[in-house]
Amino acid sequence: MQDKINSYLNEVAQFAATGDTEIEQFRIKYLGRNGLLNDLFEEFKVVSPEQKKLLGQELNKLKNAVQEKLNELKAGKTSSSSYTKSDLTRPANGLEPGSRHPLSLVRRDILKIFSRIGFTVADGPEIEDDWHVFSGLNFPPEHPARDMQDTFFLEKPTFGEGIEMILRTHTSSIQVRAMETKKPPLRIVMPGRVFRNEAISSRAHCQFHQIEGLYIDEGVSFADMKQTLLYFTQEFFGKANIRLRPSYFPFTEPSAEMDVYWGLQTEADYRITKGTGWLEIMGCGMVDPAVLEANGIDSTKYSGFAFGMGIERITMLRYQIDDLRMFFENDVRFLNQFSGIV
């Protein structure tokens, strides 16, 4: 029996493991219900009384050696084993790379195009007063855009008695702030979120993204506006044909809607252009002299043009996305489609 114990002690000392499976096999071999230590203790019951003291000490020595070896292996501290302790702070799986949101991609590209022709980016608050959103832009008091179904009005107690604040319905409010604080020439683009109380269908949303532009200087003409927008269309869409249709906006005169000739090469082209080949892109026009005067700019000396487009609409056209809700649902399957775009 002494020879067996010595043999097992030597085996335990030399044991090396390369993984959890071998460690578990080692434990079962010595400490399992049918393990070697149980067999030795069964033999110990029949040894002579004069040998029990010595063999008992040796059995305990073997049992302790096995337990210490297990502790060392599990802690990854044994020098005789290639098994190392796992780093529990490491991620279980590789992290997938993220992607830019398609609205961010299009916003960035539009701003880059206008920056190449001298436009700078301007910003302003999303919570505004009536002057900067409506009155400073020549909206008459009875204009339907002021109505509750289009505008989110905030509770007066939040801002004080007599102060009516709203969530801006367009980024044109930044135009007013720029005209109030800066002298011409002004050449700015204004990206940002806007809010409208629209619930006309399940596809409607209350939050949108816009980019508007404003250029004011001496001698600015309608032809300048047309060439600027043609340049944008060529750079962004690669399309060379545009048309300007008469329209109405309170803050521009004359006003126009700009269409780009999209073409009729595919079935999708027929669908999105309703068979005409033309697609509406943005609204634009010459800044109304009343707006210039209301904001402290001499309309007899300066003139200018303004334009505005919805980023969601432009993004849907670029990537052929047919559901507005995809932009706001954070579906990873949708967002992963843009992971390769930098």
- Per-domain residue ranges of the chain: 2-75, 102-338
CA dihedral 41, 45, 47, 50 (to 10 degrees): 100
Fill in the DSSP letter of residue 97.
Answer: P
pLDDT bin (cut points 50, 70, 90) of residue 217 is very high
Convert the pLDDT of each residue in 72-93 to its tens digit: 877 764 444 444 556 677 777 7
Ramachandran region of residue 238, left (φ > 0), alpha (ψ -120 to 50) or beta?
A: left
pLDDT bin (cut points 50, 70, 90) of residue 158 is low
Q: Is the pLDDT of residue 279 over 50?
A: yes
Q: Is the pLDDT of residue 190 over 70?
A: yes
pLDDT given for residue 212 in this prediction: 96
3.40.50.12780, 3.40.30.10, 3.30.930.10, 3.30.70.420: CATH of 102-338: 3.30.930.10
pLDDT bin (cut points 50, 70, 90) of residue 205 is low
Task: Report residue 299 as tokens.
Answer: 């309309």
Task: Give the burial class of 171: count Cβ atoms within 10 A of its Cβ; 0-12 exposed, 13-18 middle, 19 or more buried.
Answer: buried
Query: 176-185, 266-275, 331-340: which has the highest mean pLDDT?
Result: 176-185
* Mean of pLDDT values over 61-71: 85
Q: Is the pLDDT of residue 149 over 70?
A: no
CA 216 to chain centre: 34
Per-position b or e across 290-299, b if 16+ CB within 10 A of its CB = ebbebbebee
For 117, other C-beta atoms within 10 Å of its C-beta total 13
Q: Is the pLDDT of residue 202 over 60?
A: no
- Between these two residues, 232 and 49, which has the higher pLDDT value? 232
pLDDT bin (cut points 50, 70, 90) of residue 11 is confident
Q: Is the pLDDT of residue 332 over 80?
A: yes
Instruction: Calculate the average pLDDT of the chain.
Output: 85
